[in-house]
């Protein structure tokens, strides 16, 4: 690190360096005067060093220091000395030492920053994004991005040791009709034609397996034109991998060891292997989610058989129509929640598709509920037993189609954990397996792939293609921790006939399938090996490791909620000459504020 500007980073010296002369360079974090003494906090990527200037010893420096303000860039030359005992700062790595300045050079001045360069800054997000280069000077932001860099290094080193090859795949691809919206890029050379930016390298990594590369990986940018939320950006980074001559078990085994290494080296946390597994059906039935948070219990229960012949018509009719009635026991909830709280819970359930929410309080007087009169004593006893209810508990019920009832109660489970302030600490990992291959879209009246159309159905499910698609199960697996899907993968289809059947199930004619994916189907004719793979959302993994809920906190230059960069002004209008070259005419649309 030694050069003409500095001999050390600010936080490198320690007590073993006392008496040594150093040259440091960095930004002024704070300045304070105490009579004849002036102190500067000098900050760089490594941390902070206190600089002491004594007016009696170095009167010439006081004139220079008087000009210095926060965020000025300065160079300091001086000796490392031990701080006086009363000035020791235990919060700093360098809190027992300081530099007694002999020379100070102002390398660059700074205007008063529009945001406070400190972790305690409360400036609104758009202002922080506009001045992101200042926001990134904050120690917490720098720590997160340094951690992200370390994560990428750990992943690369591990996969290289496991025999993977890092191979780049194209960014300019062919638009496809499946999945989220593509970002389109017009071609100048071939007018009226468009490239799409990759939502993932899926097809190319499968083609690399056809090519015989055996083990591929890439830390790669991907793009999806979809609405944003706290854990989603239009451009994101994947840890992507693919392996030949393997089963799903092989992929899971390698990735368990990768996960263990990541959490150990970054957080010092030991992940117990093997990681527990749970089928999709079990996850939905018990937790109402395919990414269950297992740090707390509160499981769902099916009370359909108990209430199917009850006098409560809402429950009985739903069961008779093929739906179900699911219940959730909120331990101690009866004593904690008032009627107004229960009315709000109804709104929560309706947000997730439920037509309503029923409830029962279990008190010393028995069950208290507007619907209690519709159930016999035997039915009530069976409900209490099934939900393992005790006095003081609150029981919540949703009656609807299975998917709606489970999903609504699953979301209420998380909501109640927050309301009841249930402790959720540590890390609870689980593999979720055996996903449905397809999901039915009521609006479009057709099936879509749950993961992607290149996922292999289980051997026992292949014969159900074209007959009973809802029962087809995929050889897919997701890794979930604390209710967050960190990554997912599957065994891929490697035979042309099976791939054509899946395309047919998705509503593609043979001609359409070949038009869109003919290059893949053609490749399958030339000895494609069995292969499987997986991908992680690097940004989401960083969020978990950094213990933050906002994905923008772990991305250097993220977009805001309108897909915009308020710092650079992207996206922006293209010039008339550029549009003319691309043979593109624009339609005036109502502008949205960033």
pLDDT digits (tens, 9 = 90+) for 64-94: 999 999 999 999 999 999 998 988 999 999 9
Q: What is the largest CA-CA distance in the chain?
A: 94
Picking from 200, 176, 172, the residue whose alpha carbon sits closest to that of residue 186 is 172
In whole angstroms, give the CA distance from residue 132 to residue 113. Answer: 12
Asked if 567 and 177 touch (Cβ cutoff 8 Å), the reply is no
Average pLDDT value for residue range 141-145: 98
pLDDT, residue 152, reads 98
pLDDT, residue 179, reads 65
> Angle at Cα 241 formed by Cα 240 and Cα 244, nearest 5°?
160
From the centroid of its chain, how far is CA 40? 39
Give the tokens for residue 273. 């292997």
Digit-coded pLDDT (tens) for 505-533: 998 889 999 999 999 999 999 999 999 99
Picking from 327, 279, 319, 281, the residue whose alpha carbon sits closest to that of residue 300 is 327
Work out the pLDDT band at 380, boundaries 50, 70, 90.
very high
Count Cβ atoms below 10 Å from residue 58 Cβ, excluding itself.
19
Strands 165-166 and 184-186: unpaired
Averaged pLDDT of the chain: 94
Q: Quick one: CA dihedral 262, 263, 267, 270, positive or negative? A: negative
Asked if 427 and 271 touch (Cβ cutoff 8 Å), the reply is yes
Cis peptide upstream of residue 571 (ω within 30 degrees of 0): yes
pLDDT, residue 35, reads 81
Which helix or strand (DSSP H or E) is residue 264 part of? Answer: helix 248-267
pLDDT, residue 187, reads 95
Give the tokens for residue 512. 């359409």
Digit-coded pLDDT (tens) for 270-328: 999 999 999 999 999 999 999 999 999 999 999 999 999 999 999 999 999 999 999 99
Picking from 270, 230, 285, the residue whose alpha carbon sits closest to that of residue 549 is 230
Ramachandran category for residue 366: left, alpha or beta (phi over 0 → left; psi -120 to 50 → alpha): left
Work out the pLDDT band at 202, boundaries 50, 70, 90.
very high
In whole angstroms, give the CA distance from residue 487 to residue 481. Answer: 10
Picking from 486, 337, 481, the residue whose alpha carbon sits closest to that of residue 412 is 337
pLDDT, residue 590, reads 66
> Angle at Cα 268 formed by Cα 266 and Cα 274, nearest 5°?
100
Backbone angles phi, psi at 487, to 5 degrees: -170, 170
Average pLDDT value for residue range 184-203: 95
In whole angstroms, give the CA distance from residue 26 to residue 95. Answer: 17
Asked if 117 and 71 touch (Cβ cutoff 8 Å), the reply is yes
Domains of the chain: 15-108 (2.40.50.140), 123-270+530-594 (3.30.930.10), 276-280+426-528 (3.30.930.10), 296-423 (3.30.1360.30)
Asked if 348 and 398 touch (Cβ cutoff 8 Å), the reply is no
pLDDT, residue 60, reads 86
Q: How much of the chain exceeds pLDDT 70, in percent?
A: 98
């Amino acid at each position: 690190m030694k050069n003409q500007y500095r001999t050390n980073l600010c936080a490198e010296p320690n007590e073993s360096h006392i008496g040594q002369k150093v040259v440091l360079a960095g930004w002024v974090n704070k300045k304070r005067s105490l009579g004849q003494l002036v102190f500067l906090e000098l900050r760089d990527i490594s941390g902070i060093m206190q600089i002491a200037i004594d007016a009696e010893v170095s009167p010439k420096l006081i004139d220079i220091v008087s000009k210095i303000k926060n965020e000025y860039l300065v160079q300091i030359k001086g000796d490392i000395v031990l701080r006086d005992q009363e000035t020791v700062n235990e919060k700093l790595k360098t809190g027992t030492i300081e530099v007694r300045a002999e020379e100070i050079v102002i390398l660059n001045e700074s205007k008063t920053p529009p945001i406070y360069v400190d972790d305690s800054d409360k400036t609104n997000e758009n202002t922080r994004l506009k001045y992101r280069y200042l926001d990134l000077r904050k120690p917490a932001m720098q720590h997160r991005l340094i951690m992200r860099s370390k994560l990428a290094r750990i992943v690369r080193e591990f996969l290289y040791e496991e025999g993977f090859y890092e191979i780049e795949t194209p960014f300019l691809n062919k638009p496809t009709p499946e999945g989220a919206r593509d970002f389109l890029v017009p071609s100048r050379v071939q007018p009226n034609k468009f490239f799409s930016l990759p939502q993932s390298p899926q097809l190319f990594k499968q083609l690399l397996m056809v090519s015989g590369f055996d083990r591929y990986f890439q830390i790669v940018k991907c793009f999806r034109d979809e609405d944003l939320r706290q854990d989603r950006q239009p451009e994101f980074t994947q840890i992507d991998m693919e392996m030949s001559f393997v089963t799903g078990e092989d992929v899971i085994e390698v990735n368990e060891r990768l996960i263990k290494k990541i959490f150990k080296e970054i957080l010092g946390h030991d992940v117990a292997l093997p990681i527990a597994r749970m089928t999709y059906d079990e996850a939905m039935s018990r937790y109402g989610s395919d990414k269950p948070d297992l740090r707390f219990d509160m499981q769902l229960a099916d009370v359909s058989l108990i209430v199917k012949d009850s006098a409560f018509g809402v429950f009985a009719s739903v069961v008779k129509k093929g739906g179900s009635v699911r219940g959730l026991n909120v331990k101690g909830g009866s004593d904690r929640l008032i009627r107004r709280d229960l009315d709000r819970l109804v709104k929560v359930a309706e947000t997730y598709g439920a037509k309503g929410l029923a409830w029962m309080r279990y008190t010393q007087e028995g069950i208290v509920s507007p619907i209690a009169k519709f159930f016999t004593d035997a039915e009530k006893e069976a409900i209490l037993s099934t939900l393992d209810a005790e006095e003081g508990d609150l029981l919540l019920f949703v009656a609807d189609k299975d998917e709606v009832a489970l999903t609504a109660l699953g979301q209420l489970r998380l909501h109640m954990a927050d309301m009841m302030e249930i402790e959720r600490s540590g890390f609870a990992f689980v593999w979720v397996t055996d996903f449905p291959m397809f999901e039915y879209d009521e609006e479009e009246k057709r099936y879509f792939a749950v993961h992607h159309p290149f996922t292999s159905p289980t051997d026992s499910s292949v014969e159900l293609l074209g007959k009973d698609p809802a029962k087809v199960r995929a050889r897919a697996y997701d890794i979930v921790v604390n209710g967050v899907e960190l990554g997912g993968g599957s065994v891929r289809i490697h035979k042309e006939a099976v791939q054509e059947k899946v395309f047919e199930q998705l509503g593609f004619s043979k001609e359409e399938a070949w038009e869109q994916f003919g290059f893949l189907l053609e490749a399958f004719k030339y000895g494609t090996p069995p292969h499987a793979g997986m991908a992680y959302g690097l940004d989401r993994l960083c969020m978990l490791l950094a213990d933050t809920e906002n994905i923008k906190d772990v991305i250097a230059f993220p977009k805001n909620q309108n897909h915009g960069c308020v710092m650079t002004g992207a996206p922006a209008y293209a010039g008339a000459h550029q549009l003319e070259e691309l043979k593109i005419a624009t339609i005036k649309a109502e502008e949205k504020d960033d």
